[in-house]
Structure 1
Amino acid sequence: SSEKPVTFTLSHCKSKMSSRPQLYDFHGVAMTHCVTDNWEKVKNFQARPDDILIATYPKAGTTWVSYILDLLYFGHLSPERQTSIPIFERVPFLEIAVSTVAPGAELADRLPTSPRLIKTHLPVQLVPQSFWDQNCRMVYVARNAKDNMVSFYHFDRMNMVQPEPGEWSSYFQRFLDGQMLYGSWYDHVGNWWKKTKTYPKLHYMFYEDIAEDTEREIDKLCSFLGLSPSAEDKKTIVELVHFDNMKNNEMTNCSKLNFLDFKISPFLRKGKVGDWKTHFTVAQNEAFDEDYKSKMKDPTLRFRTEI
């Protein structure tokens, strides 16, 4: 269907808090009303030249890199910021429009910080034009598809404003078919990767690299951003963004969002590379590898499924 996005109304997401939202086709990408209801405001969002856009496919390390950037820029400013403002307010989610939190585009508009750190899961072709016009810096984080799928599955189980995941086996197939919120993983990671060839202000990171050596990846990020934190600050940041510390930190674990059901699964679950092995059957792994070979066309884009 080529259903037109509705004008800004939160009724869809309100009425569907009990019954989960459905995917629909939005400019060729599978979306839900919870991320398209505010589309006019998102599309017309006015970026500023120093804005930094953090882009990922869902569950690929968004919160991790958001927190790293927030600490790099504002970690030294005020301890209050770190203990009283949750990460989803410090780094607003541009396109979100659910009844229980302020629309992301409005939160981003009101950010008092400079640079403004803004996160999105939009595929590259749907990013608001002003980010390109203003030549904004962008950080993209990609995660290997196997772990990404498993993480997304558990996230969909506990996130009441996302489609019902159903059984793992059918979810597995849906992921391969690209019938996921924000569309196909292949298209998402591939098109953002392609963009690095023509847009120099885009820094492409891999979840597995950050997991393997956080400090090394922070160094690369700093050189992209032109930052030079002291060795001491860097050590502090590496410690704070360690998965267990983030999981136990109320400001980074998203436990304040009332549409997430932590009784089903935590928002920050394991943060491991290779956890897919506890979910994939041998047959699924073979089917996946076969599918991957046919869809992953760009030999320069390489992922690791273990480290």
Structure 2
Amino acid sequence: MAEEKELSYSEAIEKAGSAIHRFRLIEVKGIPLMEHIANSWDPIWAFQPDPSDLLIATYPKAGTTWTQEIVDLLLHDGDAEVCRRAPTAVRIPFLEIVSPPPIPSGLDQLSKMAPPRVIKTHLPFQLVPEGFWENKCKAIYVARNAKDNLVSYYHFDRMNLTQPEPGPWDGYLHKFMRGELAWGSWYDHVKGFWQEREKRNILYLFYEDMKENPRREVERIMRYLDLSLSDDVIRRIVELTSFKAMKDNPMANYTFIPKPVFDQSISPFMRKGEVGDWTNHFSPEQSQLFDEDYERQMKDANIPFRATI
């Protein structure tokens, strides 16, 4: 009998068809996760990385794809063609993602890749498999100011037809403040990695710094990865990872995800990539309410966030 051809990532999503819908959230150790993740939690928690693996961790919509592309280009000497070898989700597997068959899970993808691997996660620090820290893996964490992160996540949840229905903006804002979105509280997420950054050798980056001076931040990542690339290569990487370049790159802009999953006619995956877009969404009353709640939730954290640059 002829061996069945392996499906591409997008073909597997197409084949999953009617199994794709907005999945409910189930709590794992107090953190709301999509039901497929929650129902497959034991093997995710038991994952044993190789010491050479690199973890890229973020709260959703904080600059994850941007950082993935920078890292991939740094590891391949700025070779744009090599970094177009496959979509982002194939090059850098999403550790905890579990979807209906035949879509491969993150663990399935990782099992077929030889170390060193680059691995993406949105898990808060306390849910990251302990093997990453036991094996002293390097980890890059990217944090984005709360207001812009909230706006970006809202538009993402509108177009991502596997996450819970976001509902109206005002209600979503309150869900964000209460930590009732997939992957939980933004506040706990950014604080968790911040508190552990020195002990665990985590490179903690800020989205706003990356926008303000991308070359400086690309060089910081390069040094953290113990790489040394020429000025020309660094300049090329900065150009290739500009918002416009990535929005036009089919291997990075998630257009490879079919419309039944990511409906980019509702909102593009690469929407604006700006700092301060929150001013177009928050009413003065909402902004004041949010700021007061932010002050309460972040009072013990001295994390230098900027909502404008």
Q: Please state if 1:291 is matched with 2:293.
A: yes
Contact 1:50 1:116 in 2 (8 A): yes
AA at the equivalent of 2:269: F
CA distance in 1, matches of 2:198, 2:227: 23
How far apart in 1 are the matches of 2:159 and 2:248? Answer: 18
SS, match of residue 142 in structure 2 = strand
Aligned partner of 1:188 in structure 2 is 189
Instruction: Name 1:234's counterpart in structure 2.
Output: 234
CA RMSD of aligned residues (A): 1.8
CA contact 1:60–1:143 (8 Å) conserved in 2: yes
SS in 2 for 1:63: helix
Residue aligned with 1:138, SS = strand
CA distance in 1, matches of 2:80, 2:177: 44
Measure, in 2, the Cα distance between the counterparts of 1:222 and 1:84: 21
2:20 is the alignment partner of 1:17:
yes
- Consecutive unaligned residues of structure 1, counting only runs of 5 or more, are 1-12
Deviation at 1:42, TM superposition (A): 1.2
TM-score by length of 1: 0.91
1:202 aligns with 2:205: no
- Look up the match of 1:223: 223
- For the pair 1:95 / 2:122, whether they are aligned, the reply is no
Q: Percent identity?
A: 45
Contact 2:191 2:301 in 1 (8 A): no
Deviation at 1:98, TM superposition (A): 1.0
Residue ranges of structure 2 left out of the alignment (5+ in a row)? 1-15
Q: Is the 8 A contact 2:80 2:240 kept in 1?
A: no
Match of 1:106? Answer: 108
Quick one: distance in 2 between partners of 1:176 and 1:293? 12
Q: Is the 8 A contact 2:27 2:38 kept in 1?
A: no
Q: State the number of aligned residues.
A: 292
Q: 1:165-192 deviations in whole A, cap 9, x for unaligned?
A: 0000100111111111011100000011
Counterpart check, 1:154 vs 2:168: no
- CA distance in 1 between counterparts of 2:166 and 2:103 reads 23
Per-residue deviation, 1:22 = 1.6
Residues 26, 38 of structure 2: 8 Å contact kept: no
What's the counterpart of residue 211 of structure 1? Answer: 211
Distance 1:216 1:88, change over 3 A: same
Paired residue secondary structure (1:205)? strand
> 1:4 maps to which residue?
none
**Alpha-carbon displacement from aligned partner over 1:79-129 (angstroms, at most 9, x marks no partner):** 2x33331111111100001126310112122224x4310000000001112
Query: 2:73–2:80: 8 Å Cα contact kept in structure 1?
Result: no
User: Which piece of structure 1 moves more, 142-151 or 125-134?
Assistant: 125-134
Match of 1:45 in 2: 47
Q: Secondary structure at the match of 1:108?
A: helix
**What does residue 301 of structure 1 align with?**
303
Matched with 2:10 is none
Q: Which amino acid in 2 is paired with 1:97? A: V
Q: 1:35 deviation in Å? A: 2.6
C-alpha separation in 2, matches of 1:143 and 1:26: 24
Equivalent pair of 1:14/1:98 in contact (CA under 8 Å): no
Distance, in Å, in 2 between the alignment partners of 1:15 and 1:128 is: 32
Q: Distance between the aligned counterparts of 2:250 and 2:304, measured in 1? A: 34
Task: Give the secondary-structure state (helix, strand or coil) at the position aligned to 1:139.
Answer: strand
Specify the alignment match of 1:3 in structure 2. Answer: none
